[in-house]
A and B are shown apart, each in its own frame.
Chain A
Amino acid sequence: MADPYLPYTVTIRKITIENAAKDIKTFELVFADPAQRQQFDFMPGQFAQLSVFGAGESPIGIASSPLDANHISFTVKKYPTGVVTTALHNCQPHQTIGLRGPFGNHYPLLDMLGKDIVIVGGGFAVTTLRATIRYLLHESKRSDFGKITFFYGARTPGELVYREEISTWAARSDIEVHLTVDHPDESWTQHTGVVPAVVTKIAPASSNSIALVCGPPIMVKYSIPALKDLGFAPERIITSLEMRMKCGIGKCGRCNIGSKYVCIDGPVFSVAELERLPQEF
């Protein structure tokens, strides 16, 4: 058995600045040993530990699809107090960093087969949802799923990430995209207002449907009742949590909610599961 604390070494192939504030960047990584990409067998919704040697490790959701064969990408927001996120943002292309994982569970793709999929994202927490959409839209997968409706919002247009990619999705006929911002600028032509309100207005059908929600806590909090009002059962509303983590493998003891560890029992939980846990997150 491999040492679960020893990271792969990966090289940064490309860095993309994702937002107007320039504190969100996407890092496209390639494995030093290409065979390791095969070993790194993951599903959308899982996360990994990224490390800058000397600064430390941080758990980050995987933003690329498992069907993106050659690379793996992560979108990271820099926080002023975040030692690792700051170190990552100071990295340059061709630099080598550490990658441990994949960790945690994933979105319930088996349960999603044949169903309509409603995806609700906010801010930069849309990363693992982006991985999921890339997966669902892949030519080998798209016919396995029903209608896909994607809601995505941020405070301002400049804070919406993956803008170019999302506009290619919006141009397709097999996914419906609804973008919204709290504070539009003069060029904004799409929805205005918070994400849950747009979900309520568009009212996607809940029959034979499953909803994936990931965003800032406040957005998740109000999206859940909005979806319930549309008829989504708590078992059919799926969300993903984040916690401070160190090991990623259920030993270091800090990412628990009740007796569940977000790192191994999550990060993906149904609302039905969360309602059975202490509200401590």
Chain B
Amino acid sequence: MSNEIRIISREDLPKWLDQMLGTFTVVAPTRQDDYTNFGVITSGNQADFDAVNTRMSPKQIFFPKTERLFGFATDRQQVKLDDTPQQITPQVLFGVRPCDARSIAMLDKVFDTDVYRDQQYVSRRKATTIVSLACKQLAPSCFCTRLGSNPADMAGSDLLIIELPEDRFAIGTLTPKGADLLTAADLPAQATAQDAQAFDKAVRIAQDTTVKPIDSDKLAAKLARIFDSAFWDRWHDRCLGCGTCTYLCPTCHCFDIADEAKNNTGQRVRNWDSCMFDLFTLHASGHNPRPSQRQHLRQRVMHKFSYTVDRYGQAFCVGCGRCVNRCPVNIDIREILDELEDYQGG
């Protein structure tokens, strides 16, 4: 568990952020009309410490919706490539919910492999300290506990903040990077033994759940078995193929690569893509191995709950509930999981 606990009052939280602003770019949940989203703050007061879940996940901090891979300039015969890396400055990602922090640890498995390292992603990860905020309450759409996680999960975080009674917060140190951020700050005070106990107790309470988590290995094997079954016959009936679920999902990471050019100069860019779209798998020859919405939806479920278990050893869903909340036709992944667990067909 955590090596060191510090304590800060609610009143001092924004001041701590102000201190960080001297050294870091700070990204935190900020209010925008009736929802919150991650944004760069210029004052600690702009951060929203009570937002249950931001509308967009923080994945775009590391894996932007669109990003330049390199620039090019061509004339008739010559090509000049410009691969100057983008300037990446030290930043703090503050107030991330543990489900989202966990999703970042999952994305690391995709983008930071021994064979092919995604340099821009890895540089941003290295330059970022993640400070998570344990959840006091779950939203109606939250289901992290079904994925074997909990509201004080430490995966992916450098520091984890847990709210204690009387508007005080305990900060647990999880990594050397987190420790560095704390060392640099003079605001969070040393915790008493009692506070440290309170932190550990809160973690235990968060872990003590009555929800039975899915057995991801068993589910992965079952999904592989029922690939061709009638289970997939109806979920897609109302799917519009809009891709909202994949864009909001903190672990969805599929992307497109395209060239943007005008007058012989341009750039190669990488954009978020979605398995919900026909074009996603369409060959130039016209052949499409996954032409229908039935296959698109099955691919999404299989990718999250079977293929990633095979490849990375865990289901790529953190139970944040964004896809449940924002699907325009109320396709609910929790219902699919429930029915999958009960499904007896082959």
Contacts and interface: CB of A to CB of B under 8 A. Distances in A.
B69 A5 contact: yes
B143 to A, nearest CB: 23
A35 interface: no
B266 A79 contact: no
B231 interface: no
Given A81-B284, A243-B289, A95 B77 contact: yes
Contact of A243 (B110, B253, B258, B283): B283
Interface in A235-281: 242-244, 246-247, 249-259, 264, 278-281
A250 B74 contact: no
Given A6-B83, A95-B77, A253 B72 contact: no
Nearest to B287: A217
A4 B83 contact: no
A81 B286 contact: yes
B311 A251 contact: no
B197 interface: no
A9 interface: yes
Interface in B268-298: 268, 270, 273, 275, 280-287, 289-290, 295
A10 to B, nearest CB: 10
B118 A253 contact: no
B185 to A, nearest CB: 34
Given A54-B266, A96-B74, A256-B307, A278 B228 contact: yes
A251 B307 CA distance: 13
Given A243-B289, A259-B306, A4 B72 contact: no
B76 interface: yes
A85 interface: yes
- For B227, B255, B268, B299, which residue has the most chain A Cβ atoms within 10 angstroms? B268
A85 B284 contact: yes
Given A4-B116, A82-B284, A280-B295, A253 B77 contact: no
Contacts of B77: 11, 94-96
B127 interface: no
Interface in B68-107: 69-70, 72, 74, 76-79, 81, 83
Contacts of B240: none
Contact of A247 (B74, B255, B299): B255
Interface in B300-324: 302-303, 306-307, 310-311
A11 B77 CA distance: 8
B interface: dominant SS: mixed
A64 to B, nearest CB: 22
Interface residues of A, number: 47
A4 B118 contact: yes
A98 B284 contact: no
A264 B254 CA distance: 16
A55 interface: yes
B117 interface: yes
Contacts of B69: 3, 5-6
- For A246, A253, A258, which residue has the most chain B Cβ atoms within 10 angstroms? A253
A8 B227 CA distance: 40
A46 interface: no
- For A5, A6, A95, which residue has the most chain B Cβ atoms within 10 angstroms? A5
Interface string A94-127: 1111100000000000000000000000000000
B215 interface: no
Given A3-B119, A255-B281, 14 more contacts: A1-B119, A9-B79, A51-B268, A53-B259, A79-B285, A95-B77, A96-B79, A246-B257, A252-B255, A253-B253, A253-B273, A254-B275, A259-B310, A264-B115
In order of increasing CB-CB distance, the 6 nearest A-B pairs are A253-B254, A82-B284, A54-B261, A259-B310, A259-B307, A249-B116
5 contacts: A3-B83, A6-B70, A55-B259, A82-B285, A279-B228
